[in-house]
Amino acid sequence: LDLSPDGLMNKHNWFRAESPVERSGDILVSFDPQWRDLLRDSSIGFVVRRRYPKVFLPRRMFVYICAPYSELIGFCSIKKLRRINLREGLQILGQSGLTREDLEAYFLGYEEIGCYSISHISLFRTPLSLESLRNQAGFSPPQSFVSLSRRASGWLDQIHSNKALHGGFNAQRNLT
């Protein structure tokens, strides 16, 4: 893939699928910094979110950690996505990384929220920094989640599988 300024992948944000045809089946979700270690250590099996895809079941969730880290750390498989109420949320509390108080506060104003059942978290050896993502792909982190384009998913898969990139992220050098 040519990521040079003259190449196919220009600075416009091509991460977001603009139509169902462009949709890869993957999503990128932004997490607050306190979730970084729990996700990196595979300590949770459920992720609850107020905003989630309602028209398709994503297969993978790419994990972006917000400032001060500002990095894409990897992805996990999505086994299931369902709507849950507070009672159901309390049943998965131990596998969600939330306290009862956090969960109750998260449900304020909502009767139901989305609950992802996740597994197999794969980390990039070197997280992809916001600066690199912005420079290479015009990436802007979503407030909640974004449905990834086929192009973005393919690019991230190539980065994950390319051994040369695991030591560092220089797409200009390694993907041309």
What is 102-148 written as a DSSP string?
Answer: HHHHHHTT-S-EEEEEEEEEEEEEEEEEHHHHHHHH-----SSEEEE
Strands (E), the chain: 23-31, 46-49, 60-65, 71-84, 113-129, 145-149
Nearest partner of 48 among 1, 92, 3, judged by Cα: 92
Mean pLDDT estimate for the chain:
85
pLDDT in tens, 14-43: 888 989 999 999 999 999 999 999 998 888
Tokens of 61: 């969730």
Q: Is the pTM of this model over 0.75?
A: yes
| Residue 33 · residue 69 · CB < 8 Å | yes
Q: Cα 14 to the chain's mean position, in Å?
A: 15
DSSP state of 153: H
Among left, alpha and beta (phi > 0; psi -120 to 50; other), residue 35 is alpha
Distance (Å, rounded) from C-alpha 56 to C-alpha 90?
25
Examine the pLDDT at 8 and tell me if it is beyond 60.
no
pLDDT in tens, 99-148: 999 999 999 999 999 999 999 889 998 899 999 998 888 888 999 999 99
Q: Give the per-residue pLDDT at 173.
A: 33
